[in-house]
Structure 1
Amino acid sequence: MRDADTPRQEPTDDRSHPAALTPQQRADLIRAAAAEVRERVQAWRDNPNWRNTPANSHRYETTLGAIGVLSELPEPQTEEALASLADAVRPIVVEWRPSRPGPEQSIYAAVERLWRTIDVHT
């Protein structure tokens, strides 16, 4: 329970429910959420505390690869085409799970936002 002086942890989202949006608008949300994930993953990779383990390298490469596929897909005009965008980023959602605090936790939060964006129509 939150008292009156405690701010919300997540900002409220006053936008329309993604299912009520056009395929193009939903594609824009997916692309924006994926860009946030990429930015956070790149910051994690560029951090001096980065550990080049096989697991970390795999998650990094999977993320960049999925976002690369997403960037090559045309703007969707139909629900089927929109589903292909969701399929392109699904490896990111599968790869990232809650982890240690710090950069990886912020990545997970961004991945959760991406998941909520694609979950509406998958």
Structure 2
Amino acid sequence: MRDADTPPQEPADRLDARTEFTPRQQAAVIRTAAAEVHQRVQEWRHSPGWHDTPTNAYRYQATVVAVAALDALPEPATDQALSGLVDAVRPLLAEWRPSRPGPEQQIFVAVERLHKACG
């Protein structure tokens, strides 16, 4: 059993074989991971623990903008085009490094999955 300060444990990662993925397959993994980050951020924003501070508002807006930018990109056919998807989600990787317990830990775990998906 874990206490509130311990982040949830990550299941066995199957993304280590990502070198075998086509750019479209890798894009699907990135999009799925980014959607999970967005979902976790939305859950936190609508929870009683949300505090509408300038920092939280900025992090929330950065998430919305990054996910919208990702959604606007076409499916990549090349590794170069795939790097555009990684660039689109880079703000998520930079902004969400919570150290506090609670819903932010769920965001942290989702961001770690996104980081692994991006390679």
**Structure 1 length normalisation: TM-score?**
0.86
Partner AA of 2:12 in structure 1:
T
Distance 1:84 1:64, change over 3 A: same
2:95 is matched with 95
Higher-Rg member (1/2): 1
1:48 is matched with 48
2:109 is matched with 109
1:63 is matched with 63
Identical-pair percentage:
54
Partner AA of 1:38 in structure 2:
H
> Which whole-Å deviations, capped at 9, do the CAs of 1:30-70 have from their partners, x for residues lacking one?
00000000000000001122100000000000011000000
Q: How does 1:4-43 map to 2 (within 5 A)?
A: 9-14=9-14, 17-43=17-43
CA distance in 2, matches of 1:10, 1:114: 12
Q: Give the number of aligned pairs.
A: 111
CA distance in 2, matches of 1:60, 1:34: 13
> Higher relative contact order by CA 8 Å / sep ≥ 6: 1 or 2?
2
**Structure 2 length normalisation: TM-score?**
0.88
1:72 is matched with 72
Report deviation, 1:14: 4.0
CA distance in 2, matches of 1:18, 1:48: 38
Partner AA of 1:107 in structure 2:
I
CA distance in 1, matches of 2:81, 2:17: 19
CA distance in 1, matches of 2:23, 2:106: 28
Report deviation, 1:108: 0.6
CA distance in 1, matches of 2:96, 2:15: 26
Gap regions ≥5 residues in structure 1? 1-8
